[in-house]
């Protein structure tokens, strides 16, 4: 193994490619392992253009759930609060629906840190299914909106979704 895979390589277009076999950031990474999916999630922090594969999307979803659970357990151990203990602060709205403890600062900071990138990832996932990112707003429709989004996130990629890729936009515009 004389090849050092930790050094980035550059393609003819000037795009940075981090590992052999890993597509550039503007392309979806189909079959992405969890580590690379999470790394791409944070590298594309506020990138709403392009596409995200199912593996990128679902590995990040699993990662955020696991981190939130771990942070909640850590907070419960440190503060002495448990999931069943009563909180002096009322639980309201969406936080109640998702079982979010509003007094857990560790999970709240992580939630705020990943809110915008999670929306960006969801928009890119919708692009991969050839839907506009504005369809993410259907999630605001009570009950039905979240179910519709879940189903769309489960759909496989459509070739027509390439229209959202950076490369396709440059070719279309003659760049």
**How large is the average pLDDT for residues 67-83?**
83
Q: What is the dihedral of CA 42, 47, 49, 50, to 10 degrees?
A: -20
**How large is the average pLDDT for residues 2-13?**
38
What pLDDT sits at residue 123?
Answer: 96
Q: Which string of DSSP letters, residue by residue, matches 141-159?
A: STTHHHHHHHHHHHSPP-G
Give pTM, 2 decimals.
Answer: 0.73
Structure tokens at 139: 């999630």
Integer Rg of the chain from CA: 19
């Amino acid at each position: 193994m004389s090849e050092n895979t930790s050094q980035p390589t550059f393609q003819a277009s000037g795009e940075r490619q981090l590992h052999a076999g890993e597509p550039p950031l503007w392309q979806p990474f189909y079959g992405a392992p969890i580590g690379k999916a999470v790394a791409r999630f944070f590298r594309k922090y506020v990138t709403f253009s392009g596409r995200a594969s199912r593996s990128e999307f679902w590995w990040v979803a699993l990662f955020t759930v696991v981190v939130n659970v771990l942070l909640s357990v850590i907070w419960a151990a440190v503060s002495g609060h448990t999931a069943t203990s009563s909180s002096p602060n009322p639980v309201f709205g969406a936080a109640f629906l998702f079982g979010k403890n509003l007094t857990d600062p560790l999970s709240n900071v992580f939630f705020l840190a990943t809110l915008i990138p999670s929306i960006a990832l969801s928009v890119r996932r919708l692009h991969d299914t050839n839907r506009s990112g504005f369809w993410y707003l259907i999630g605001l429709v009570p009950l039905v909106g979240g179910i519709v989004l879940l189903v769309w996130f489960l759909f496989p990629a459509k070739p027509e979704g390439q229209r959202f890729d950076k490369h396709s936009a440059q070719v279309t515009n003659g760049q």
